[in-house]
Chain A
Amino acid sequence: MNFWNDPLKVAAVWLEGIFTGWGMDAVLAHVLVVFLGVLLLITILMVLDIFLVWIERKVVARFQDRIGPNRLGPYGLMQPFADIIKLIIKEDTTPDGADKVVYNLAPILSMMSVLILWAIVPLAPVMLGVDLNVGLLYLVAAGAIGTLAIIMAGWSSNNKFALLGAFRQVAAMVSYEIPMVVALLIPTVLAGTMGMLGISEAQQGLWYVFLSPLGALIFLVSAVAELGRSPFDLSEGESEVVAGFHIEYSGMKFGWFYAGELLHAFTFGGFWGILFFGGYHFFGLENLGPLVAAAIVLFKALLGYWVIMWIKYTLMRIRIDHMLAFNWKFLVPLSLVVLMVTALLNTLLRDASTWVMGLSMFLSNALIAWITVEILRGRSRAEREKMEGPAQAALEAVNH
């Protein structure tokens, strides 16, 4: 067994050998090694999270024609460390009448709901926490815990703005979960499995973004809504609910929410890359070794994160009724239609070659997109005539 072919396994066997050499029980040594592996993964993610703050600030600066942090260290790289020191030594306040246990539990749950997602991320065929056969449902379940954390934070703060912000955010998250689940079913139908590894493997030939571009788009939109990022960042609103559910949090407790949000965006970028952009496949480059494959996955995750940032800093916040109407009247029916067409074509063309299958899938998606745009155009024309009709009549009355 070569280290470069299976680094995690080799390291685990080596460590277990050391532990049992000390006279430790074999089962205990195994549990300890697994625990250390989890600790290592979380540490890497948290360190990455520190740099995500820097990346986010640099990218938003570029979008807004600024330079961003550039004073501390080369390219301002030390800035996030200074921010963290500030957050840690800041006074930790708890509002009067807050529900202390729930109030302190909420940031932990919020961060946890993001970190547990990485248990199922396949960085390479041999580098993943666990290949759950219900991987995609696990993704949804982790999101449910995040929703719970937000409502806990909003309620326990004893602040009406926090509560209102939490209500808005949770209403959005619960509704956008539906198109997300339906969009997640599309790779499931195409790959025939809900396991992340199986879905990655099945994209060896053709990435699913070519088979189902609409599915990829719906997943991205509902992921942005699930993250509570602009244009769907309803929990914030300076003139209405100030900062939303985390208004009362200060210091590192606010830091947990902030870091959790950034890592969540990065993670969903990663899932977008894994589910629709081939996972660790990149023109055969992944055959060079698991570390290269992991680098490919991280690169795709960063690219997905960049797309999410691009959306965030380009579009402005939309109203809550528009947001919910967009979900229930547009995204849910569209995602159901796409899912049905995909499932039908997948069954009909089971024996066809990859190219026939890919082409017909792509064309069917293009057809659905065209019909959708036509329906929307018709609707908007009708609305405009309804609005302009009386105005036109009034204008003519004045002229006569």
Chain B
Amino acid sequence: MAILFLITAVVILASAMMVVTSRNLVHAALWLVSALFGVAVLYALLNAGFLAVVQVVIYIGAIAILFIFAVMLTRREMRETGPGLNKNWWVSALVSLLVFGGLAFLLSNWSGFSQTSAELPSGFDAVSALGDALISPDAFVLPFEVASVLLVTALVGAVYIAFNRK
């Protein structure tokens, strides 16, 4: 498990690095797909099968495809000219290191940091537990409904903008 996690983490970080440094925008989008797929593998390693599959469906099947379409349709020349890094690269590296250090510090103070996760009881159906949580009033029904109203609004807005009035 630890070996798998380390391999996945290295793949995710390397792909994320390639996303921002790649000169070719379509390549950057494909590296993004690789990074997102790595995150799906992490979910699967954490026994969150539903999240892993949804990650692939939504992020690779919809969002990455949309990115690639947008890149292809909006730019004539799909190559960035200038260098991939400018002279401020060390500032951003410093900021990322500080954020990483801060998060690691916060997590190391958390009591659950050094615990190993408890085994799921056999026969535990995570998907139906998630489904119950999403629609039960004392869990997440309000955020769930708010998110669906937001999505419907976005859908109606998109149709309104695209609608061609005669």
B 99-132 to A, binary, CB cutoff 8 A, 1 in contact else 0: 0000000000000000000000000011100000
Closest A residue by C-beta to B64 = A148
Asked if B127 and A144 make an inter-chain contact with CB atoms under 8 angstroms apart, the answer reads no
Asked if A148 and B60 make an inter-chain contact with CB atoms under 8 angstroms apart, the answer reads yes
Q: How many residues of A contact B (CB 8 A)?
A: 23
Asked if A137 and B126 make an inter-chain contact with CB atoms under 8 angstroms apart, the answer reads no
Q: Which of B27, B33, B53, B54 has the largest number of chain A CB atoms within 10 A? A: B53
Asked if B127 and A143 make an inter-chain contact with CB atoms under 8 angstroms apart, the answer reads no
Q: Which residues of A contact B60 (CB under 8 A)?
A: 141, 144-145, 148
Closest A residue by C-beta to B78 = A155
B61 within 8 A of A: yes
Distance of A145 Cα from B57 Cα, bound (Å): 9
B26 within 8 A of A: yes
Asked if A134 and B56 make an inter-chain contact with CB atoms under 8 angstroms apart, the answer reads no
A148 in contact with B65 given A102-B30, A133-B127, A141-B56 (CB within 8 Å): yes
Q: Which residues of B contact A148 (CB under 8 A)?
A: 33, 60-61, 64-65
Asked if B127 and A134 make an inter-chain contact with CB atoms under 8 angstroms apart, the answer reads yes
Closest A residue by C-beta to B37 = A145
Instruction: State the Cβ distance, B123 to closest chain A Cβ, in Å.
Output: 11
Asked if B30 and A137 make an inter-chain contact with CB atoms under 8 angstroms apart, the answer reads no
Q: Which residues of A contact B27 (CB under 8 A)?
A: 99, 102
- Chain A interface, DSSP helix/strand/loop, else mixed: helix
**What are 30 A-to-B residue pairs whose CB atoms are below 8 Å?**
A102-B27, A132-B53, A133-B50, A133-B126, A133-B127, A134-B50, A137-B50, A137-B54, A138-B53, A140-B61, A141-B60, A141-B61, A144-B57, A144-B60, A144-B61, A144-B62, A145-B60, A147-B65, A148-B60, A148-B64, A151-B65, A152-B30, A155-B68, A155-B72, A167-B69, A170-B69, A174-B61, A174-B62, A174-B65, A177-B61
A252 within 8 A of B: no
Asked if B68 and A137 make an inter-chain contact with CB atoms under 8 angstroms apart, the answer reads no
A141 in contact with B57 given A133-B126, A133-B127, A155-B26 (CB within 8 Å): yes
B 44-75 to A, binary, CB cutoff 8 A, 1 in contact else 0: 00000110011011001110110011001000
A133 in contact with B125 given A141-B56, A144-B56, A148-B33 (CB within 8 Å): yes
Distance of A145 Cα from B127 Cα, bound (Å): 23
Distance of A144 Cα from B24 Cα, bound (Å): 23
Instruction: State the Cβ distance, A315 to closest chain B Cβ, in Å.
Output: 27
A140 in contact with B65 given A133-B126, A134-B50, A134-B127 (CB within 8 Å): no
Distance of A43 Cα from B13 Cα, bound (Å): 35
Distance of A151 Cα from B70 Cα, bound (Å): 13
- Give me the interface of B with A, judged by CB distance under 8 Å: 24, 26-27, 30, 33, 49-50, 53-54, 56-57, 60-62, 64-65, 68-69, 72, 125-127
A124 within 8 A of B: no
Distance of A152 Cα from B31 Cα, bound (Å): 12
Chain A, range 101-115, C-beta contacts under 8 Å to B: 102
A194 within 8 A of B: yes
- Give me the interface of A with B, judged by CB distance under 8 Å: 99, 102, 132-134, 137-138, 140-141, 143-145, 147-148, 151-152, 155, 163, 167, 170, 174, 177, 194
Distance of A148 Cα from B66 Cα, bound (Å): 11
Q: Which residues of A contact B30 (CB under 8 A)?
A: 102, 152
Distance of A151 Cα from B72 Cα, bound (Å): 11
Asked if A137 and B61 make an inter-chain contact with CB atoms under 8 angstroms apart, the answer reads no
A133 in contact with B56 given A147-B61, A177-B61 (CB within 8 Å): no
Q: Which of A138, A151, A170, A194 has the largest number of chain B CB atoms within 10 A? A: A151
A143 in contact with B61 given A102-B30, A133-B125, A133-B126 (CB within 8 Å): yes
8 other contacts beyond A132-B53, A147-B61, A155-B68, with CB at 8 A cut-off?
A133-B50, A133-B126, A137-B54, A145-B56, A147-B65, A148-B65, A163-B72, A170-B65
A194 in contact with B127 given A134-B50, A141-B53, A147-B61 (CB within 8 Å): yes
Closest B residue by C-beta to A152 = B30
Asked if A137 and B65 make an inter-chain contact with CB atoms under 8 angstroms apart, the answer reads no
Closest A residue by C-beta to B24 = A99
Q: Which residues of A contact B49 (CB under 8 A)?
A: 132-134
Closest A residue by C-beta to B58 = A144
Asked if A137 and B53 make an inter-chain contact with CB atoms under 8 angstroms apart, the answer reads yes
Distance of A266 Cα from B126 Cα, bound (Å): 32
Instruction: State the Cβ distance, A379 to closest chain B Cβ, in Å.
Output: 18
Q: Which residues of A contact B127 (CB under 8 A)?
A: 133-134, 194
Q: Which residues of B contact A147 (CB under 8 A)?
A: 61, 65
Instruction: State the Cβ distance, A193 to closest chain B Cβ, in Å.
Output: 8
